[in-house]
Amino acid sequence: MRLAIDAMGGDFGPRATVMGAAQALQVHPSLEVRLFGRRVDMEEVLAHLPSRFTSVLSRLSLADSPTIIAEDMKPSSALRAPRDSSLAMMLECVVAGEADAAVSAGNTGALMALSRQALGTVADIPRPAISTAIPTRAGGRCYLLDLGANVEASAERLVDFALMGDVMAREVDGVVRPRVALLNVGVEGTKGTASVRQADAWLRDLDDLGYLGFVEGDGVFSGEVDVVVCDGFVGNAVLKASEGLARMLIERVQQTFEAHWTSRLVGLLAQPALRRLKGQLDPVRYNGASLLGLGGIVVKSHGGADATGFAHAVSRAVLEVEQALPARLACELAKRRPAIPYRMARADRTQIER
């Protein structure tokens, strides 16, 4: 398996991406990685890698990319930018069949725009969505989408997101019949925007989908649903708020135990439990958002991820390659999207007009 990685993206650049790639190579013995970025910067990081990574360096290669897509560059500008950027060259490597997937911690808007241009979409999906798995109360995880690719989403797009999330949960996590819900301000049928209410009506008519209806914000983490669908504005706000809350809880627990000598003593005894709690809540464990609906596999790492977090994003890409996710999406959506009520109604109107 071969992955192409944008080494220059994210807050820490090659310091995190190169080290993260090396960590992923240790975890996945059959993996090969090609890093795209400024060669001098990548070589500097490689020169200072701990000796334990020496054995994996033969499976890591460098490709010099003189240009970097800035974090504040607009997607439209990225599409017109020179094709020698680390992000564009990474995607071209996938298009050429030289890599099975791409991973970047760079500019999300630019990554989505360039990925859509280079790879296209499956099953006539007009707009891909960003999805990631978040921890739930029962120890499982729930897929949340969209996380920012579509700030506003029509009812049609919300239905597409629900179908893609269903396929993701079934194919990647092995959930036999994923429980799907729409994120709303209440569970009553009269609540929410017009697009959410219309999507709810259409989803209820799909017999082969485990659609449960509306779920409120606290239900995302309850473990009672496997897929939660919303527009990108809401999804991004929910994700960032949950990450911030998780970090605050971890810090507060640590501060509580360090406040007094008696609590420090208790804290020493509780260290194993505290480590488990931190591991369960740490957003790093869930780093790696999928750009669902593309004609290839592209995984977006959090821009603030460290090397360990980036390694998790690489592992996410490996998992999706193993499951041949785009092909599964294309097959499932081609069968199920024509049955969506709004598409049937549109087809009937077209036939009448003819």
Q: What is the pLDDT of residues 74-124, one digit of tens each?
A: 999 999 988 999 999 999 999 999 999 999 999 999 999 999 999 999 988
Element (H, E) at 248: helix 232-258
Q: Distance (Å, rounded) from C-alpha 325 to C-alpha 288?
A: 15
In this structure, what are the phi and psi dihedrals at residue 175, rounded to the nearest 5 degrees?
-75, 120
Q: Is the pLDDT of residue 351 over 70?
A: no
Please give the Cα distance from 6 to 91 (Å, whole number): 9
Query: Could you tell me the domains of the chain?
Result: 1-120+294-323 (3.40.718.10)
**CA 5/CA 299 separation, integer angstroms:** 10
Residues linked to residue 300 through DSSP beta bridges, in sequence order: 104, 289
Kindly report the backbone phi and psi dihedral angles of residue 106, in degrees, each rounded to the nearest multiple of 5, phi listed first.
-85, -160
Average confidence (pLDDT) over 223-243: 87
Taking each helix axis from N to C terminus, what angle separates 155-173 and 194-204, rounded to the nearest 10 degrees? 50
Contact 166, 179 (CB under 8 A): no
Residue with the larger pLDDT of the pair 310 and 139? 310
Q: Kindly state the tokens that stand for 163.
A: 């179908």
For 87, the token pair is 């992000």
Q: Look at residue 124 and give its three-state secondary structure.
A: coil
Looking at residue 179, what is its pLDDT?
95
Task: Please indicate whether residue 350 or residue 110 has the higher confidence score (pLDDT).
Answer: 110
pTM of structure: 0.85
DSSP 26: H
188 backbone dihedrals φ, ψ, rounded to 5°: -70, 145
pLDDT tens profile 157-193: 999 999 999 999 998 888 889 999 999 988 887 788 8
Look over the chain and give the mean of its residue pLDDT values, rounded to a whole number.
86
The rounded Cα 110 to chain-centroid distance in angstroms is: 15
pLDDT at 278: 57
